[in-house]
Amino acid sequence: MVLQLFLDTANIDEIREALSWGVISGVTTNPSLVAKEKRDFKVLVKEICDMVPGPVSAEVISLKSDEMISEARALSRIAPNVVVKIPMCVEGLKAVKVLSQEGINTNVTLVFSANQGLLAALAGATYVSPFVGRLDDVGNEGMDVVEDLVILIENYGLPAKVIAASIRHPMHVIEAARVCAHVATVPFKVLENMTRHPLTDIGIVRFLDDWAKVQDTFDK
Ligand code: E4P
């Protein structure tokens, strides 16, 4: 199994930059992230889908299952790599059941317990997204939900994949990998921080200084 990294953003520049690093294989958006871009939703989703050679999650905003289903069908027509994000609730489960029968990929979002995630997986979700950071914020151990869900899904051979979401810092990514999350979706800032270490910066300066000293000798 390979840990996949998705980028948690709706910003085209961040996606373009992260894709050039060769490390991300998908994108997740949500209504808050899309609202920041001040762009037409469907046009933006299409643009992201054309750039990303992997799943792109786009969320419905309806709260009734039949409306979620209509929205999901429309979103799935935008591009073959659209994954429809459905909020975790009874209406969401009903929608996921229908959509999975139609072959539309779903990502059940706003999952805060292993029970919620299990139900989403049983309803036929392609992805289930426990929100680690938001659980940590209220004094729970968010990564425990990811770990429990991975175990439940693996124990029973359910096809759903667990996305560790609401990632706030690089250690969350390491912990997600330790508990065998299938995917971690990370904000661009966290991805940038993952590249950095002060000893790398010091090492580069030292190598270049040493190199320059020798070059000076040869130049004389
Ligand atoms: C996941 O798909 C969500 O878009 C995201 O991870 C939520 O993160 P936040 O808690 O930082 O808003």
Tens digits of residue pLDDT in 72-126: 999 999 999 999 999 999 999 999 999 999 999 999 999 999 999 999 999 999 9
Confidence of residue 1 (pLDDT cuts 50, 70, 90): confident
Pairing of strands 161-164, 127-130: parallel
If you measure from the C-alpha of residue 53 to the centroid of ligand 1, how many angstroms do you get, rounded to a whole number?
A: 21
pLDDT surpassing 90 at residue 220:
no
pLDDT surpassing 90 at residue 131:
yes
Instruction: Tell me the residue ranges of DSSP E strands in 9-151.
Output: 26-28, 56-59, 82-87, 106-111, 127-130
Confidence of residue 217 (pLDDT cuts 50, 70, 90): confident
* Token digits of residue 119: 């139900």
- Whether this model's pTM surpasses 0.85: yes
Q: Which protein residue's CA is at the shortest distance from atom 10 of ligand 1? A: 166
Instruction: Tell me the residue ranges of DSSP E strands in the chain.
Output: 4-8, 26-28, 56-59, 82-87, 106-111, 127-130, 161-164, 183-186
Give me the phi and psi of 198, to 5 degrees please. Answer: -60, -35
Of 1-10, 111-120, 187-196, the range with the lowest mean pLDDT is 1-10
Which of 6, 11, 30 to probe ligand 1 with, by most ligand atoms within 8 A of CB? Answer: 30
- C-alpha gyration radius of the chain: 20
pLDDT more than 70, % of the chain? 99
Provide residues with CB under 6 Å of ligand 1. Answer: 8, 28, 30, 109, 129, 131, 133-134, 165-166, 185
Confidence of residue 134 (pLDDT cuts 50, 70, 90): very high
* CA proximity to 120, closest of 162, 157, 183, 69: 162
160-187, pLDDT tens digit by residue?
999 999 999 999 999 999 999 999 999 9
* 85, 94, 213, 220: the active-site residue: 85
Residue 84 bridge partners (DSSP): 58, 106
- Give whole-number Cα distances, 110 to 30, 41, 117, in Å: 10, 20, 9
Give 193: exposed, middle or buried? Use CB within 10 Å, 0-12, 13-18, 19+: middle
In Å, the largest CA–CA distance within the chain is: 80
Give 204: exposed, middle or buried? Use CB within 10 Å, 0-12, 13-18, 19+: exposed
- Give whole-number Cα distances, 189 to 15, 24, 114, 219, in Å: 12, 14, 28, 43
Give me the phi and psi of 159, to 5 degrees please. Answer: -75, -10
Q: Which protein residue's CA is at the shortest distance from atom 9 of ligand 1? A: 166
pLDDT surpassing 70 at residue 21:
yes
* CA proximity to 58, closest of 94, 40, 34: 34
What's the mean pLDDT in 21-29?
Answer: 98
Q: What is the DSSP-derived secondary structure letter of residue 131?
A: B
- Between CA 32 and CA 48 the distance in angstroms is 16
pLDDT more than 90, % of the chain? 95
